[in-house]
Chain A
């Protein structure tokens, strides 16, 4: 019996370990390829090149701005989506749609809505506001693509709030808003921050919607991913350097997610 049980354990163990190992190798090998092609000197040079500086600065500023917007608008929306009402399912599908949509399609949609000839764009141009190919457009593209990630996380957190605590608050004469503010939200702050960091990382890597709606103007709309793409057309070496810089940032973001979410970041 023992021998057979152990043999079965071995088979099941292999069925778990082998696919996991292949998965890890696939990711690690691709990322290692970036590092193998790069000398530390090149990386240093890349960080000093003005294009990278500009792109890095723009990426950080725009992605942080989008994250802030996502937090301010996404949190109440997630709270609404967590309470049952008619048409909630349809609304939730609509809000999460940008996750499955190719980003380029998202960029096109933004262009048709806010572009010079767009639905709202025409009205905006009458008051002298033109959004496409501005830094604001970069932020809009990032919000469009990455907000659903945060809203999904936040909605699920709100939906799983302890019903008994909500009931207790109700018997203590607390309004629903007051309850949300003092009972539901505070314990969720770490997990919500984790969701925000995830959205921020997605905004940092945003490419398709940005280049479609905001274009590729160095210093104005050329973010890190676009800079990598452009560099790869002409000079693969500097493209790799920028790519590695982006990878380091993304890695730091994920470590931050794990740390904020309460799990010790053992991979630092």
Chain B
């Protein structure tokens, strides 16, 4: 298990947070920019020495303020993907990916062979001979991932790892990362400002605000019982993972836990469906309409959000809707009330 209790002061900014990640698991850390997410990663990697606390992976203590212990980054079994990639621009993609193994003394040819395999896993073996400086940002990001994964680190720190990759190309990359976490029994921390990415990567999400973790839990926890309006706004996006089957008339059906969601377009295999809370219509009774998706459930919480209210509905699947206060009042919406949530197939974003 990765355990980190970190207190650090940087100018006027103060970071104080705790993090625990079990081997073989991933935790997503989300928050607006400036919340301290990257600082947290830098502390775990050893690039920044905290003022207080301790950091340990399994039995190995990496940092202990009381014992004045600070293991340098080179000696931590830890890999990092930087938000700005930080590839070595004069080297080829392959040499970048092989760098870590070569630095540890592996022979160049063996290091390159292993690096080539990882590039192939990520679908970029055709870029192997290109200089890193000449690659597009999406390509650079995948090379940066390869460079970190090649070393099979036991602690994997990913700072906005897919931000520059086209949405339709993300699922296979995500799979490679998830497989690496499982195979190496690594503890992964994924930092992102994109709540959907956070939900797709990890079972546990930490929301950071002003240098502190304000809530941690499963995506469903955060959706249904948000600790603050900020968390509600941040994590209140409906996101479902499931298996898609193409159906007739240019639509597909996605099987998610116990329910089927109809989406437009022809999709098959594992996908993620995202539904904006603003696209969900809430009614007391089932309505006859053209919308393909309609689900029953019970309201668990209602959080004010500007002129609107975020309504969390427990059901199969759980859904969050954003409705105006006036509609909420007129319909008599309140926790415990049974309602029907409806949205159109075309309102479902699939990736």
**Which residues of A are interface residues toward B (Cβ below 8 A)?**
162, 164-165, 167-175, 178, 182-183, 186-187
Q: State whether the Cβ of B47 lies closer than 8 Å to any Cβ in chain A.
A: yes
A173 lies within 8 A of B103 (CB): yes
* Contacts A167-B73, A178-B103 given; does A173 touch B151 at CB 8 Å: yes
Q: State whether the Cβ of B147 lies closer than 8 Å to any Cβ in chain A.
A: yes
B100 lies within 8 A of A173 (CB): yes
Least distance between A191 CB and chain B CB atoms (Å) = 13
A169 lies within 8 A of B47 (CB): no
* Contacts A164-B86, A165-B86, A186-B90 given; does A171 touch B99 at CB 8 Å: no
Q: In the complex, A173 Cα to B72 Cα: how many Å? A: 9
Least distance between B247 CB and chain A CB atoms (Å) = 47
Contact of B104 among A170, A173, A183 (CB under 8 A): A173
Please, which residues of chain A bring their CB within 8 A of the CB of B74?
A: 170, 173-175
Contact mask B31-71 → A, CB, 8 Å, 1/0?
00000000000000111000000000000000000000000
Some 5 contacts from A to B, beta carbons below 8 A apart, are A167-B73, A171-B79, A173-B100, A174-B99, A178-B103
A187 lies within 8 A of B151 (CB): no
B48 closest partner in A (C-beta)? A167
A170 lies within 8 A of B84 (CB): no
**Which residues of B are interface residues toward A (Cβ below 8 A)?**
45-47, 72-75, 78-80, 82, 84, 86-90, 99-100, 103-104, 147-148, 151
Which one of A170, A175, A186, A187 has the greatest number of beta carbons of chain B within 10 Å? A170
Q: In the complex, A187 Cα to B89 Cα: how many Å? A: 8
Which one of A168, A169, A174, A187 has the greatest number of beta carbons of chain B within 10 Å? A168
B73 lies within 8 A of A182 (CB): no
A162 closest partner in B (C-beta)? B86
Q: In the complex, A182 Cα to B98 Cα: how many Å? A: 12
Please, which residues of chain A bring their CB within 8 A of the CB of B84?
A: 164
Q: In the complex, A165 Cα to B86 Cα: how many Å? A: 5
A164-B82, A168-B87, A172-B151 given; name 12 further pairs at CB < 8 Å: A164-B84, A165-B88, A168-B82, A169-B103, A172-B100, A173-B74, A173-B103, A173-B104, A173-B151, A174-B99, A175-B103, A186-B90
Q: In the complex, A250 Cα to B253 Cα: how many Å? A: 77
B99 lies within 8 A of A182 (CB): yes
B90 lies within 8 A of A171 (CB): no
Which one of B79, B84, B99 has the greatest number of beta carbons of chain A within 10 Å? B99
Q: How many A-B residue pairs have CB under 8 A?
A: 59
Q: In the complex, A183 Cα to B147 Cα: how many Å? A: 14
Contact of B90 among A167, A170, A178, A187 (CB under 8 A): A187
Least distance between A43 CB and chain B CB atoms (Å) = 44
Please, which residues of chain A bring their CB within 8 A of the CB of B104?
A: 173
Q: In the complex, A168 Cα to B144 Cα: how many Å? A: 10
Q: In the complex, A9 Cα to B75 Cα: how many Å? A: 60
Please, which residues of chain B bring their CB within 8 A of the CB of A174?
A: 74, 99-100, 103
Please, which residues of chain B bring their CB within 8 A of the CB of A171?
A: 45-47, 73, 78-80, 148
* Contacts A164-B86, A186-B90, A187-B89 given; does A169 touch B45 at CB 8 Å: no
B77 closest partner in A (C-beta)? A173
Least distance between A260 CB and chain B CB atoms (Å) = 16
Please, which residues of chain B bring their CB within 8 A of the CB of A170?
A: 46-47, 72-74
Please, which residues of chain A bring their CB within 8 A of the CB of B100?
A: 172-174
Please, which residues of chain A bring their CB within 8 A of the CB of B73?
A: 167, 170-171
Q: In the complex, A110 Cα to B72 Cα: how many Å? A: 43
Please, which residues of chain A bring their CB within 8 A of the CB of B147?
A: 168, 172
Please, which residues of chain B bring their CB within 8 A of the CB of A183?
A: 88
B74 closest partner in A (C-beta)? A173
Please, which residues of chain B bring their CB within 8 A of the CB of A175?
A: 74, 103
Q: In the complex, A175 Cα to B105 Cα: how many Å? A: 11
Q: In the complex, A131 Cα to B238 Cα: how many Å? A: 83
A170 closest partner in B (C-beta)? B73
Q: In the complex, A169 Cα to B46 Cα: how many Å? A: 12
Q: In the complex, A254 Cα to B84 Cα: how many Å? A: 37
Q: In the complex, A258 Cα to B86 Cα: how many Å? A: 29
Q: In the complex, A186 Cα to B131 Cα: how many Å? A: 13
Least distance between B85 CB and chain A CB atoms (Å) = 9
